Amino acid sequence: MPVGINPRVSINNTNIRFLPNTFKFKKGYGEIKTEVVAFGEKTQQVDTLDLTTKISGCSFDLKTTVENIRLIDGWKNNFNNNAIEVSNESGSLTLNFRQAKVMNEMDFETGSEGKITVEFSALPLV
């Protein structure tokens, strides 16, 4: 039975403790757009790569703490200069997000179950 990825995340050389099962990533392959063009009575399908969608990124949830709010403030202020490294225990997965920036305006949930969802975008990994 396959084992899921249990990633370790480091942002700007600081290990991040995110909530379990909340980490997601995209590699920045870009989307393929398909159009049909006509030549007289014949048609042909034309596929193109939309370069505007070649953006990688990751997201995860953090527990709402003063320390995590300060980390987020630093990431927001370090616009376009954050480095995110993701790996798993076996070393079979390594992702390096460069020129990462926090994209979302976060809701800081309070209380014992409070969480913060953080979304980064970066240069394509591929």
Distance in angstroms (rounded) separating the CA atoms of residues 14 and 91: 18
pLDDT for position 3:
56
**Among 101, 98, 104, 102, residue whose Cα is nearest residue 124:** 98
- Domains of the chain from N-terminus onward: 8-122 (2.40.30)
Mean pLDDT of 63-84: 96
Q: How confident is the model at residue 93 (pLDDT cuts 50, 70, 90)?
A: confident
Are the CB atoms for 7 and 88 separated by under 8 Å? yes
Place of tokens 């009575």: 41
Burial readout 103-113 (b: 16 or more C-beta within 10 A, e: otherwise): eeebeeeeeee
Q: How confident is the model at residue 1 (pLDDT cuts 50, 70, 90)?
A: very low
Q: How confident is the model at residue 39 (pLDDT cuts 50, 70, 90)?
A: confident
Place of tokens 């969802």: 117
Beta bridge partners of 59: 24, 119
